[in-house]
Each structure stands twice: as C-alpha cells, then as structure tokens.
Structure 1
Amino acid sequence: MTATPPNPTTLEKLRNVSVATLATALYKRGLRHQVIQDVRPVKAKGRNMVGPAFTLRYMPAREDRNQLVEFRNPEHPQRHAIETCPPGHVLVMDSRRNADAASAGDILITRLMVRGGAGIVTDGGFRDAMNIGELDMPAYHSRPSSPTNLTINEAIDINVPIGCGDAPVFPGDIVVGDDDSVIIIPAHLADEVADEATEMTAYEDFAMEQVRAGETIIGLYPATREENLVKFTAWRAQNDR
C-alpha cells in the first residue's frame, strides 16, 4: 500500500522547530523513544533535515555471502536503496548500532544527494566522513568508520520497519534532524505535532528573550503565571508570531 504523501505545510513547519521541542510534544502523547540514540551530524548544516523515512536494514554478515563481489550485483540492497529512495525522502539505516564497519561512503551518499534525497541517517558509521560532511545534504551517524560494511553487516531488506538507534522507524514516518540529533515522528501524528511544536517554539523564543532580560524562570517556564501569558500575547502580536 502506498503511503499518503506528507502535507508540505507540515514539512515546512518542522523545518523551524528543534528536535528537543518535538521530543516534548511526542512525550505528551506517551512516546518516549523516538529520538535516535548515539547519532549526530557528520557536520552541522544550520538547518533542519525533514522528510519521510525510506529504510534499509542490515543484519549480521555471514562470511560466505559477503565478499566484495557482492557489490557487482545491481540488485544489491545497499546500492538498490540508494537508487530507489524517492526524492525528498530520508534514507534511514538500521546498522545494528555498530560502527565497526561503514554503512555507506561518500560516492553512494553523493549519488543519493544528486537524486534529490533529503538526508541520510545510520546508527552505525560512514566512511569518507570528511567528504560527506562537505556535501550539501544532511548526514547523521555514530562516528567515522573505514572498513566496508561487508566486514560485519549484510544489507538485507529495503523499506521495511526497522530500529535505528533504538527508535522504531516505519516507512513514511517523518524524520527530523537538527544540529543536535534526529527524531522520528509517526506519520499519523505529524500534522498535529508540527502544529503544537510551532506553538511551543514561539513561547520558548519569548521565554528565552525574557530570561536574557533578567526574568526568573519561575512562573515563566513553564508558564504558570497569568501575567506571563499576557506578556506572551503582546509579544506575539509585536513579533508577528
């Protein structure tokens, strides 16, 4: 069954909120494990990565199945994922939280970028990370890793439910990454979470401005004093928020 394309307005809102704020919005809905653990930007981009998830799953390699000759196969799942990930999507890889061998390198990731990929995430590592960091596409991993993935991992399945850094990822879920980390928003919650996070961000920006001006956080963050809500309403009008 083909997933419903995400609302472009929702994606735009998610480009302007932090992973931390989204984590709080999901926590309110009982979801506590949506942040991908031990994953960070190869290089900060100063902008959010946002897009539906397209997934690749690795399993432990069996030596007789994972020689270099496997890369000659045009249907090799790793290569096939790079060539079939839809434009605007984020390729998310379950690499078993193991960065002892690389999940991909700069040539494959450059190909994904040229094809219109919105980003790439692995809970393993990338080889050629110094080159990947210079690409104009966000990339997230655990740490640099040089050995080929065939050393310990076999790419086995494409666009199936996976776990990445202990976060559950279903194809079509919305992936958001900022300069800190990456979070997975279940597709059916994306619209409402984007709306709530946008509202939360407006108040957080107001609160930060107040704190910088010397105000106490008590009654301000969280907003438990009515006077701060009155100030916030005036601030929103003044700042078109």
Structure 2
Amino acid sequence: MPLNPETRNKLLKVSTATLCTALFKKGLRNQFIQDVHPLNPHQANMVGEAYTLRYIPAREDLNTIDVFKSPLHPQRLAIEDCPAGSVLVIDSRKNARAASAGSILISRLMKRGVAGIVSDGGFRDSPEIAQLAIPAYHQRPSAPTNLTIHCAIDLNVPIGCGDVAVYPGDIVVGDGEGVVIIPAHLADEIANEAVEMTAFEDFVSEKVLAGQSIVGLYPPTDAANIIAFQQWRIAHQR
C-alpha cells in the first residue's frame, strides 16, 4: 500500500528521536540506522518508501570497470528504476572504503524526483552531493569507485543497512541526526503517535526553558501539568 500523503506530511514534521521512542512503545528497539549521517544536516526531513540495493564483496575477475557499460548493471538500474518519492537504501556492508555512489548518480536521482539516498558505506564527491537538493546519508567520504570493494548484486530485496533490517516499502525517515526505518504497516500509527509526542515535548521544552522543574512535568505525573498542556494545545492550535 502506498504511503498515505497525510502520513508523509506528518513524518516530515517530527524528529527521528521521537519516532524511535514511538517505535520503542511498539516493541521495536533497533530501527535507527547506525553510523550514518547527513551530508547536509540543514536540509528538510526526508520521507519515502524504501527501494533497496544490495552489494556483496567485489571479485577482481568479475568486477572490472567494463561492467558499467551494461545497461543492466544493478547499480545503474537502481538509479533509473527507483521510483519518484522513494528513498534508495544501499547495503554497503558498513564498508566505506569505496563509494556506494557519486555526485553524478545522485544528481540523476534528484532529477528523477527520488526523495533521498542512504548508504551504510560512503559516497565519493561528498562536497558536491552536500550542495544538491536531495537528502543524502552515509558513513563517511570514500573516493575510490565502488568496484574496488563492492559488487552490486540485488535490487529491491530485504537488506541490512547500518545493522537495521530494511524491507522494500518500509518507510524511511531522515533528519539532521540520522535515519530511522518504520515498518510500512505501522506508518500511520507511528506518525500519529509522533505528532502527539512532538506537541507534548514542545510544551515541555517551553516550560523547562521558562525555569520549571521536570519533576511532575516530564513525565506529567502532576495533574496540574496535564491541564496546563491541554490549555497550551488550545492556545497553540496543536
């Protein structure tokens, strides 16, 4: 089932930290991709369905520069087939010694309307990618071509990315901290919970910055704070 546009809009306005807590409440503890960071932490949030690419170790007799001449090369297919509005998620085996992609391929994703790209390896041309109007997340810069380390092997299959299981169609959300994976069937529920949590956390932050103690406020064990939050929501139309 495609991602509900209303759910997408909600996810664009909440943090990965809040989403992790909402997922924890559902029993999911390991949904935040490890050691992956935004090239441009000031970009807007990234939201989209996962379209996956899997790498295995390259082998010298099979992975020469000539493999890129084939229009059926899996990496090239991923760049041309990843649907608009989706996020390309790459299993690079947490190995950043060679690039998962570079600025030309990621520019092509941007022009095709792809919502973002995530790799648990690295990208080459990272200064140029950081200037593009597409969110990109990786472990660290890596100049060598992917063929020196990686062999693209599978498209749109279950993968591991930064120690998180990612299934095609899962919902990928990125912000200035990193990337979280939401199982597709939970997306609407998690988005609604995160919106509610964000409203309360904004209320709490306002009170704490005004000098109030967190005792009885966070969590709201004092009934007076529950009433104050309800009044705050009305006043702020939240």
TM class, shorter-chain normalised?
over 0.9
Given that residues 125 and 143 in structure 2 are in contact (C-alpha distance below 8 angstroms), is that contact kept between their aligned partners in structure 1? Answer: yes
Q: What RMSD in Å do the two structures reach over aligned CA positions?
A: 0.6
2:201 pairs with 1:204: yes
Could you list the runs of 4 or more consecutive aligned residues of structure 1 that deviate by over 6 angstroms after TM superposition?
A: none
C-alpha distance in 2 between matches for 1:160 and 1:143:
24
Partners in 1 of 2:40 and 2:10 — Cα distance? 23
Q: Which residue of 1 is the match for residue 135 of structure 2?
A: 138
Instruction: Say whether 1:60 aligns with 2:57.
Output: yes
> Is residue 167 of structure 1 aligned with residue 164 of structure 2?
yes
- TM-score (normalizing by structure 2): 0.99
Secondary structure at 1:62's aligned position in 2? coil
Matches within 5 A, 1:176-191: 176-191=173-188
One-letter amino acid of the structure 2 residue matched with residue 115 of structure 1 = R
Secondary structure at 1:143 match in 2: coil
Match of 1:45 in 2: 42
* Residue 31 of structure 1, CA deviation: 0.6
Residue 8 (structure 1) aligned to one of 5, 8, 11: 5
Pairwise CA distance, 1:129: 0.2
The aligned amino acid for 2:158 is P
Count the aligned residue pairs: 238
User: Alignment partner for residue 19 of structure 2, among 17, 22, 34?
Assistant: 22
1:83 aligned to which of 63, 66, 80: 80
Q: Measure how far apart 1:45 and its partner are.
A: 3.0
Deviation, 1:46, is 3.7
Secondary structure of the residue that 2:61 maps to in structure 1? Answer: helix
**What TM-score do you get using the length of structure 1 for normalisation?**
0.98
Gaps of 5+ in 2: none
**1:65 counterpart SS class:** coil
Deviation at 1:223, TM superposition (A): 1.4
Partner of 1:33: 30
1:133-166 superposed Cα distances (whole Å, 9 cap, x missing partner): 0000100000010001101110000000000000
Unaligned residue ranges in structure 1 (runs of 5+): none
Q: CA contact under 8 A between 1:45 and 1:138: conserved in structure 2? A: no
Identity of aligned residues (%): 64
Amino acid in the other structure paired with 2:7? T
